[in-house]
Amino acid sequence: MVKIEISIVIPVHNEQENLNLLYERIKEILIKLKKNYEIVFVDDGSTDNSFPMLSTLAKNDGNIKIVRLRGRNGQSTALMAGSDFASGKYIITMDADLQHDPNDIPLFYQKLQDYDVVCGSRTLSQGQKISLYSKFGSWLVRKLFRIKLKDPIGGMKGYRKEVSDNIKMYAGMHRYLPLLALWKGYSVTEIAIKVRKRYKGKSKYKPIKMFTGFLDLLTIKFFTSFSSRPSHLFGTTGFVAGFLGFIILFWMTIRKLILGISIGASLPLFFLGFLLFLIGILFWFFGLIADLITFDAITSERRKNYIVKGKVNLD
């Protein structure tokens, strides 16, 4: 059995106009690289002729592998599925719209000899136009996680197979893979790339992704800081609230016993103290429950969050 060196993983959703040219360009580069390779296309619920076109390509080229998912799952899940089925030592992810240049594949492969994860940085490329949203996102990531990567949230990435085996993505987490890799102790670097305009077809990007991307970033921050013991976060918050509530109630009780001032004279303050004390207890219980859930997740086998409808050139 031929041992695969490089796996190119490409999520596909209604990209029939780009697939043939994309395949030809990638194939040309990989042949020149003279390494055993495979191109893993993940059909993420396409409703056009993307899957039939990929099937035709796969019949004529055994290096093409196809994973067909049921329904639309999103880019992160499609990338995870492609990485799960990829057999190469190194995995390089690309978009199917030809915005990512196949000529950058050898650069990723070269860097992966020394690093576990390689990010394609638009910031390092001279003359590359970057949206204000992307600039702000990269800046926010650097500040929150105290890293020096210029463009950690770009789409084109390369990583060793073991990274994807140990770090599972879901929802919109694919863009933050470098952050999870750093958290797990993997080495991460970046190289300069240029992202071009979409070749043909309509963009799948929606403005709502800016908001969901921000929420995903906060989730990653929480996950990397408190995933093993979420009670540390909930417990600290609960302790502060509960302690303040206790001080208020204790002070009002002492004032009642010593000065004879009725609690009813400061009823709003009493309710505030009681509410803070109750919140403190509830947050402690939330932390305990979160710890139990985390322990169960760590000790149990992870289930895949996608369903495979079909496979081509895969066992």
pLDDT reading at 299 higher than 90: no
Domain shared by 153 and 257, yes or no: no
Residue 313 domain flag? no
Q: Which helix (H) or strand (E) holds 74?
A: none
Could you tell me how far CA 38 lies from the centroid of its own chain?
23
Angle between helices 231-254 and 208-226 (to 10 degrees): 80
Q: What is the pLDDT of residue 294?
A: 56
Domain shared by 198 and 274, yes or no: no
- pTM reported for the whole predicted model: 0.75
Residue 301 domain flag? no
Question: Which structural domain, as residue segments, surrounds residue 35?
Answer: 6-227
pLDDT reading at 257 higher than 80: yes
Domain shared by 222 and 236, yes or no: no
Domain shared by 148 and 241, yes or no: no
Q: Identify the top-confidence range among 162-176, 210-224, 271-285.
A: 271-285
Domain shared by 145 and 254, yes or no: no
Residue 304 domain flag? no
Domain shared by 23 and 108, yes or no: yes
Distance, in Å, from the CA atom of 102 to the CA atom of 31, rounded to the nearest integer, reads: 12
Q: Are 122 and 38 in contact (CB under 8 A)?
A: no
CATH number of the domain to which 174 belongs? 3.90.550.10
Domain shared by 28 and 89, yes or no: yes
CA-nearest of 125, 93, 270, 297 to 196 is 125
Residue 154 domain flag? yes
Q: Identify the top-confidence range among 194-198, 207-211, 262-266, 294-298.
A: 194-198
Report the domain count for the chain. Answer: 2
